């Protein structure tokens, strides 16, 4: 009897240790439940290679697509979670996220569709559009000279996409520092993480739509010469040549080294040469200016924290298991 009782006690301690170990592992995992780095190892082992090949092709054609793929991940994950909803088309009864004001000039939709078609040919009904966005953003960043980070996979695609939700969740390019902090806090991101992820503006291009508020009628006085007083005057004159008043559709590089992922963005912001108000506002706050100055000096620190921020972003609101679906075409629900 004593032996049996001792065995029972030992077994209880052993099983308790296993449960505790599993709990601790889950607690320290950087990934949302249901995601793993080897999710497609058996079902579509060539998935990562296919996506990388297409990303390489797009960046060879136009290096600014690195910024486009980063923007797609952010604009997808920030609105209801990383579920590929930003890719969906509008319908007769619904205006999708892509139609939102904050998504003006969104690029990369067609390219993601091409990647999805190649994956459907290789592994029908296996790889989600949501996961394509996550891998493409990472691969594009690396190919532009930026940091690498591990990507956990297994997301399913959502079916809801509403323009008003995008405008309600994503930060507009005119947000001042307090609103940016508030916006990121709603997703459980700190002010430091906000400044780090703003560094994505080191690559890509933008339309004049988001730049005009910096250059004309800044204080709302209907005065074409009323520019943001914090902006470098020579830089403002340069931007006005690229973005005449009222022209929303011209494009310009978002950074002085727009095809290269580096920390030049922070150096530009310190020199009062931020493209958007959301850039220049970072140094209007003492904490923001301290962080911008730090990242302008330490590229390695910026790279490390940017990678961690992208991993964290990829966990937002994911659908896994029986939730969601694997779309056959990224712009349409099945």
Per the annotation, does 279 bind a ligand?
no
Q: Beta 205-207 vs 251-253: how paired, if at all?
A: antiparallel
* C-alpha span between 125 and 128 (Å, rounded): 8
Per the annotation, does 202 bind a ligand?
yes
Q: Which residues fall within 8 angstroms of residue 3, CB to CB, at 6 or more apart?
A: none
Q: Which residues fall within 8 angstroms of residue 47, CB to CB, at 6 or more apart?
A: 40, 119, 122, 123, 126, 127, 131, 135
Classify the C-alpha dihedral 160-163-164-165 as positive or negative. Answer: positive
Per the annotation, does 83 bind a ligand?
yes
Q: Is 101 among the residues known to form the active site? A: no
Among candidate residues 75, 101, 207, 214, the one labeled active-site is 75
Per the annotation, does 79 bind a ligand?
yes
* C-alpha span between 274 and 54 (Å, rounded): 31
Per the annotation, does 108 bind a ligand?
no
Per the annotation, does 52 bind a ligand?
no
Per the annotation, does 81 bind a ligand?
yes
Per the annotation, does 257 bind a ligand?
yes
> Cβ(208)–Cβ(116) under 8 Å?
no
> Cβ(329)–Cβ(159) under 8 Å?
no
Classify the C-alpha dihedral 285-278-269-73 as positive or negative. Answer: positive
**Binding site residue list for heme b:** 201
**Binding site residue list for Ca(2+):** 76, 79, 81, 83, 85, 97, 202, 255, 257, 262
**Binding site residue list:** 76, 79, 81, 83, 85, 97, 171, 201-202, 255, 257, 262
**Binding site residue list for substrate:** 171
The residues annotated as belonging to the active site are 75
């Amino acid at each position: 009897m004593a032996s049996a009782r001792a065995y029972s006690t030992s077994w209880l301690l052993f099983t308790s240790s296993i449960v505790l170990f599993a709990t601790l592992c889950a607690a320290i995992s950087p990934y949302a439940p249901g995601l793993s780095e080897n999710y497609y190892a058996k079902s579509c082992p060539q998935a990562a290679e296919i996506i990388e090949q297409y990303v390489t092709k797009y960046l060879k054609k136009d290096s600014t697509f690195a910024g486009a793929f980063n923007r797609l991940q952010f604009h997808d994950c920030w609105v209801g979670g990383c579920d590929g909803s930003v890719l969906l088309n509008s319908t007769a009864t619904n205006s999708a996220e892509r139609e939102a004001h904050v998504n003006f000039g969104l690029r990369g939709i067609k390219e993601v569709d091409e990647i999805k078609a190649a994956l459907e040919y290789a592994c029908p009904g296996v790889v989600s559009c949501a996961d394509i966005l996550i891998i493409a953003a990472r691969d594009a960043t690396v190919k532009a000279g930026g940091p690498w980070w591990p990507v956990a996979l297994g997301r399913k695609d959502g079916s809801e996409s509403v323009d008003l939700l995008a405008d309600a969740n994503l930060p507009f390019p005119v947000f001042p520092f307090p609103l940016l902090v508030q916006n990121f806090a709603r997703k459980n991101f700190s002010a430091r993480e906000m400044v780090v992820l703003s560094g994505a503006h080191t690559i890509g291009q933008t339309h004049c739509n988001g730049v005009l508020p910096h250059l004309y009628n800044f204080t709302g006085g209907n005065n074409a010469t009323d520019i943001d007083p914090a902006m470098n005057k020579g830089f403002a004159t340069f931007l006005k040549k690229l973005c005449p008043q009222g022209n929303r559709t011209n494009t310009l590089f978002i950074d002085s080294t727009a095809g290269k992922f580096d920390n030049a963005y922070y150096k530009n912001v310190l020199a009062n040469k931020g493209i958007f108000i959301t850039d220049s506002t970072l140094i209007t706050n003492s904490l923001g200016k301290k962080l911008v100055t730090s990242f302008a000096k330490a590229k390695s620190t910026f790279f490390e924290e940017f990678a961690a921020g992208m991993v964290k972003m990829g966990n937002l609101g994911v659908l896994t298991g029986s939730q969601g679906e694997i779309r056959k075409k990224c712009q349409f629900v099945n």
